């Protein structure tokens, strides 16, 4: 399957994912209000951090090594199963030890048992990610996308049923989250086991390869995740749950734009892992500048709609989210370039360089938020995110240009010749021969 078909298919699935997430946020905001929305954002993000910490970058390593065919797929799968079991046990114990302390500070208004129940999402989601990333390494992009869409579609459906008729509280949201992830995990594992039979073992070479690459990629993923949401914790420390809930809506609306670079970035990672340097040097700038252009156009539309959309859809109590949204929006547009170029750099086998860029952006975000949030509230958190977006993108762009030998203009300025690519996309989707110049 071509990059175009994979990219369009992934774009369609990412669109569905963001639509599902957007609708879920509407339900939570409408049923629970700003305070409940703030609590949900912190609870779900906390377990997400645990899941990403425990991954140790192994899912990304599986994509890389399966794509490169450097090890037998069955042995890679088997080694991944062993690592999965060990990491789930270790990080579950760590979570159980830490959560009582977090409950006393951040989650004091929620029952402690709920935080323990949320732990069920950890092994389920981790297993799903392993299965999905092996499928991605095998270029089974449809399966990768289908499982993601199934997960969020199930979540929205269960959320609507539970909040509408059973439990209008954070407890209901957590129950819907865990059940939806269990459904998608079952499908992902069924597909994987029907395709690849694992050879369980502790092969030192395979384990070393997975963890060696994975730990370098892992640092980047965790830092990036924390950087996106560190403002929520700073905001909660100085302000209340309602303020966190309003700011989370500003983030949710602004980051809708990221489905564009994320969609093509995932396929670019898979493509670059199996391409020569010359192919990547030529193709990535085309993808980067065109994704940036589409993101800018989408941002202009969103900027016009947001002042009316936010209070109308989420409720009048979320009107304060509009101001921080306008601070976040240009930062998200800039950050789109980072998303594309970082996937290329990881696919080339340099995840540590992306980690350095992400870590610098996290420091810029955290420092700005700590200085501004006490006095400015959500606006201070927004300026923190903006600083993180800009710093990270500047560094990652510099790294890519050094690696590829391209110029800055190659990755940010659209060219008339790129119009041919759009015509060829349409031709390929229609099944017609590509247009010749």
Q: For 371-417, what is each residue's pLDDT tens digit?
A: 999 999 989 999 999 999 999 999 999 988 888 878 888 777 877 66
pLDDT higher than 70, residue 71: no
- Would you kindly state where each structural domain of the chain is located, as residue ranges? 3-430
Contact 206, 58 (CB under 8 A): no
Give the span between the Cα atoms of 288 and 413, in whole angstroms. Answer: 9
The reported pTM is 0.70
d(CA 411, CA 401): 9
Count the Cβ atoms, other than its own, within 10 Å of residue 246. Answer: 28
Confidence of residue 353 (pLDDT cuts 50, 70, 90): confident
Q: How many CB atoms lie within 10 A of CB 308?
A: 10
Q: What is the pLDDT of residue 18?
A: 75
Residue 298 contacts by C-beta under 8 Å, 6 or more apart in sequence?
Answer: 257, 260
How many alpha carbons lie under 13 Å from residue 193 in its C-beta half-sphere?
Answer: 9
Choose between 317 and 60: higher pLDDT: 317
pLDDT for 42 beyond 60: yes
Q: What is the pLDDT of residue 248?
A: 87
Asked if the model's pLDDT at residue 304 lies above 60, the reply is yes
pLDDT at 325 (0 to 100)? 92
Percent of the chain with pLDDT over 70: 76
- With 0-12 CB in 10 A as exposed, 13-18 as middle and 19+ as buried, what is 100? exposed
Please state, in angstroms and rounded to a whole number, the distance separating the CA atoms of residues 132 and 260.
Answer: 20
Stretch among 93-97, 181-185, 191-195, 432-436 having the lowest mean pLDDT = 432-436
Residue 390: other Cβ atoms inside 10 A: 18
User: Does 297 have pLDDT greater than 60?
Assistant: yes
pLDDT the model gives residue 436 = 44
Q: What is the pLDDT of residue 435?
A: 46
Model confidence at 331: pLDDT above 80: yes
Cα Dmax for the chain: 66
Single out the residue of 212, 269, 343 nearest to residue 68, CA to CA. 269
pLDDT in tens, 176-221: 888 998 998 898 888 877 776 655 555 666 767 776 766 766 666 6
d(CA 285, CA 268): 11
Q: Which residues contact 375 (CB under 8 A, 6 or more apart)?
A: none
- Model pLDDT for residues 219-269, shown as the tens digit of each residue: 666 777 777 778 888 888 888 888 888 898 888 888 888 777 766 655 555
Of the two residues 102 and 319, the one the predictor is more confident about is: 319
* Band of residue 434 on the pLDDT scale cut at 50, 70, 90: very low
pLDDT band per the 50, 70, 90 thresholds, residue 328 = very high
Percentage of residues in the chain having pLDDT higher than 90? 11
SS3 assignment for the chain: CCHHHHHHHHHHHHHHHHHHHHHHHHHHHHHHHHHHHHHHHHHHHHHHHHHHHHHCCHHHHHHHHHHHCCCCHHHHHHHHHHHHHHHHHHHHHHHHHHHHHHHHHCCCCCCHHHHHHHCCHHHHHHHHHHHHHHHHHCCCHHHHHHHHHHHHHHHHHHHHHHHHHCCCCHHHHHHHHHHHHHHHHHHHHHHHHHHCCCCCCCCHHHHHHHHHHHHHHHHHHHHHHHHHHHHHHHHHHHCCHHHHHHHHHHHHHHHHHHHHHHHHHHHHHHHHHCCCHHHHHHHHHHHHHHHHHHHHHHHHHHHHHHHHHHHHHHCHHHHHHHHHHHHHHHHHHHHHHHHHHHHHHHHCCCHHHHHHHHHHHHHHHHHHHHHHHHHHCHHHHHHHHHHHHHHHHHHHHHHHHHHHCCCHHHHHCCCHHHHHHHHHHHHHHHCCCCCCC
Question: What is the average pLDDT value for the chain, to the nearest integer?
Answer: 78
- Measured between alpha carbons, how far is 80 from 74 in angstroms, rounded to an integer? 10
For residue 238 the two structure tokens come to 């100085």
> HSE of 121 in the Cβ direction (CA atoms, 13 Å)?
27
Which range (113-127, 138-152, 303-317, 333-347) has the least confidence?
138-152
- Band of pLDDT at residue 437, cut at 50, 70 and 90: very low
Phi, psi of 201 (to 5 degrees): 175, 170
Confidence check: pLDDT of 361 > 80: yes
Does the pLDDT of residue 336 top 80, yes or no?
yes
């Amino acid at each position: 399957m071509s990059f175009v078909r994979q990219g369009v298919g992934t774009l369609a699935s990412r669109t569905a994912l963001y639509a599902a997430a957007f609708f879920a946020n509407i339900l939570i905001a409408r049923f629970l209000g700003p305070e409940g929305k703030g609590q949900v954002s912190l609870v779900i993000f906390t377990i997400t951090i645990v899941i990403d910490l425990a991954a140790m970058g192994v899912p990304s390593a599986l994509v890389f090594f399966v794509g490169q065919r450097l090890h037998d797929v069955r042995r890679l799968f088997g080694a991944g199963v062993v690592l999965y079991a060990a990491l789930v046990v270790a990080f579950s114990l760590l979570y159980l030890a830490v959560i009582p302390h977090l409950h006393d500070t951040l989650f004091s208004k929620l029952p402690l048992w709920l935080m323990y129940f949320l732990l069920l999402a950890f092994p389920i989601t981790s297993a799903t990610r392993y299965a999905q990333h092996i499928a991605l390494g095998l270029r089974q992009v449809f399966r990768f996308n289908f499982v993601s869409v199934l997960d969020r579609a199930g979540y929205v459906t269960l959320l609507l049923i539970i909040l509408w008729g059973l439990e209008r509280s954070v407890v209901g949201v957590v129950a819907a989250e865990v059940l939806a992830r269990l459904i998608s995990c079952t499908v992902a594992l069924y597909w994987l086991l029907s395709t690849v039979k694992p050879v369980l073992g502790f092969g030192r070479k395979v384990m070393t390869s997975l963890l060696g690459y994975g730990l370098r990629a892992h640092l980047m993923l965790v830092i990036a995740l924390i950087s996106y949401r560190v403002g929520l914790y700073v905001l909660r420390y100085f302000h209340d749950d309602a303020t966190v809930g309003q700011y989370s809506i500003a983030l949710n609306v602004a980051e809708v734009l990221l489905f564009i670079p994320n969609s093509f970035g995932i396929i670019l990672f898979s493509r670059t892992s199996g391409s020569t340097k010359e192919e990547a040097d030529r193709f990535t700038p085309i993808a980067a500048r065109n994704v940036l252009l589409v993101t800018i156009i989408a941002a202009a539309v969103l900027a016009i709609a947001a002042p009316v959309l936010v209070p109308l859809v989420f409720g009048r109590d979320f009107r304060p989210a509009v101001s921080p949204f306008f601070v976040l929006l240009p930062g998200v547009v800039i950050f789109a370039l980072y998303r594309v170029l970082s996937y290329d750099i990881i696919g080339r086998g340099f995840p540590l360089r992306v980690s350095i860029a992400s870590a610098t952006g996290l420091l810029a975000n955290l420092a700005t938020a700590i200085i501004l949030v006490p006095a400015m509230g959500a606006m201070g958190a927004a300026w923190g995110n903006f600083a993180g977006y800009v710093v990270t993108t500047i560094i990652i762009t510099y790294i890519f240009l050094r690696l590829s030998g391209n110029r800055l203009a190659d990755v940010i300025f659209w060219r008339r010749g790129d119009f041919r690519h759009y015509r060829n996309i349409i031709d390929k989707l229609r099944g017609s021969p590509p247009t010749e110049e």
